[in-house]
Structure 1
Amino acid sequence: MTSNRTRISGRIADKDSLRHTPAGVPVLTFTLVHRSEQPAGVGKRKVECVIPAVAFEALAETIARWPRDAQVEVEGYLARKSRTEAQLTLYVQTIELTE
């Protein structure tokens, strides 16, 4: 089996309204903005990225209650947004407030 784990911190920049799948599963899509400095050769590199993310079930309901701009630590896996869209999305498996 190959590895597909992502752990990243950031702020919830935007989030959609909580919705439900046809099967009744709660789902929430949101945008995570990450900013940091990372080692690059002998110096440091400023890193900024915007990451689309999605959470399901109780996790989605929890995130829906949190404010925009909440600082969080997220862990999950990367996959295509859908069968027809190749954009990578972070599928959240754990998330915690860090501020």
Structure 2
Amino acid sequence: MELTGWLVDAAELRHSPAGVPIARGLIEHESQQTEAGASRPIRFRVGVSAAGTPLAERLTDLPVGASIRVSGYMRRSRQRTPETDPIIISISRFERLQTTD
């Protein structure tokens, strides 16, 4: 799956018991989608997780507000937060997007 959004909570880096770096953050997505012929605004937050070097370190280097496109898969999270559902995206790759402000 692929999703674009912006980082709303700085990614935190930790290490697994095996020493693998793992970064977890929170992104927000906003778009317009068509449903039954009508445009529908979509906005939600979802947790993201990146494991391994250099992916985890790259995620922690992003500033809050950075626009990104993430690719990966959805999975159930063991760590629920009030801001997100128990589903997170495990990132296999991501790219920082250029904003045109």
Measured against the shorter chain, the TM-score band is 0.7 to 0.9
1:38-58, CA deviations, whole angstroms, 9 ceiling, x for partnerless residues?
112222100001001110111
Q: Aligned pairs, how many?
A: 93
Which residue type is aligned with residue 48 of structure 1? Answer: R
| Letter in structure 2 aligned against 1:11 | W
- Name which of 16, 20, 27 aligns with 1:25: 20
Question: Alpha-carbon deviation of 1:62?
Answer: 0.5
Match in the other structure for 1:65: 61
Matches within 5 A, 1:68-79: 68-79=64-75
Seen in structure 2, the aligned counterparts of structure 1 residues 68 and 75 have a Cα distance that, compared at 3 Å, is: same
Structure 2 letter corresponding to 1:63: L
Task: Tell me the secondary structure at the aligned position of residue 18 of structure 1.
Answer: strand
| Paired position in structure 2 for 1:93 | 92
Q: Which residue of 1 aligns with 2:45?
A: 50
Structure 2: runs of 5 or more not aligned: none
- With normalisation by structure 2, the TM-score equals 0.84
CA contact (8 A) 1:15 1:28 kept: no
Judged with a 3 Å threshold, the aligned counterparts in structure 2 of structure 1 residues 64 and 16 are, in CA distance, closer, same or farther, namely closer
Aligned to 1:81: 77
Unaligned runs of 5+ in 1: 1-5
Letter in 2 for 1:69: G
Q: Which ranges of 4 or more aligned residues in structure 1 deviate by more than 2 Å?
A: none
SS at match of 1:17: strand
TM-score (norm 1): 0.86
Query: What are the Cα deviations for residues 51-99 of structure 1, in whole angstroms up to 9, with x where unaligned?
Result: 01110111110011111110000111011113x9791111001100111
Identity level (%): 27
TM-superposed CA distance for 1:15, in Å, is 2.5
Q: Give how far 1:17 is off.
A: 2.4
What displacement does 1:16 show?
Answer: 3.9
